[in-house]
A = this chain, B = another copy of it.
């Protein structure tokens, strides 16, 4: 019953906690949950110095939360397995349940809470009936690695130029990575300014997957 053996065992679990103990690393996990990505793609999307991103990725790899694959001169990182995505989801849920500071931080990033939402089940039913147009506003790369059935890929950066592709009659639902992804918020605001009735999926592809709904 060595105390040091016990400590060593719990230290193993703590390694994962430590790895998730930095905002930048959590952000990296958030992006990697969408699919694998190269180091400089991650540096771009997070706006962090390349060397710093590399250092954080090493930390995640030492904790075995991510693994790598080499392709030519690029190294692609991805989550080590489904349990890691579930750990991340559990982290989000725990924060939502317990952290009183979270709503303010979310509003400061996502903007005022003026965007109407739609739940998974309702969207699922309306999509089956064809009474709604679902758009995926993530970068095309993320759409390619898995998206909602029937969703159209219109990355946020192209949305303003592709308004004509949206049918006038039906309601539009935009979604992106998850509940704290700013892309769909911006998309909804943009479309509403153009007079299109739009809502956003309350959470994103990650939770959709976790709920065992189909993905293409």
For residue A21, CB closer than 8 A to chain B, the reply is yes
- Interface stretch of the complex, out of A9-17, A159-167, A196-204: A9-17
- The answer on a CB contact under 8 Å between A106 and B9 is yes
Q: Of all chain B residues, which has the CB nearest A30? A: B10
- The answer on a CB contact under 8 Å between A21 and B14 is yes
Of B93, B96, B102, B109, the contact of A5 (CB 8 Å cutoff): B109
What is the copy number of this chain in the assembly?
2
- The answer on a CB contact under 8 Å between A109 and B12 is no
- The answer on a CB contact under 8 Å between A17 and B14 is no
Q: What residues of B have a CB within 8 angstroms of the CB of A90 in the complex?
A: 83, 86-87, 89-91
Question: 19 A–B contact pairs at CB < 8 A?
Answer: A5-B105, A6-B27, A6-B182, A7-B23, A9-B109, A9-B180, A10-B23, A11-B23, A11-B105, A12-B102, A14-B26, A17-B17, A64-B98, A64-B99, A80-B98, A83-B93, A87-B87, A87-B91, A90-B90
- The answer on a CB contact under 8 Å between B26 and A13 is yes
For residue A22, CB closer than 8 A to chain B, the reply is yes
A16 to B22, CA, bound (A): 10
For residue A3, CB closer than 8 A to chain B, the reply is yes
Give residues 1-43 of A contacting B (CB, 8 Å).
1-3, 5-27, 30
For residue A65, CB closer than 8 A to chain B, the reply is yes
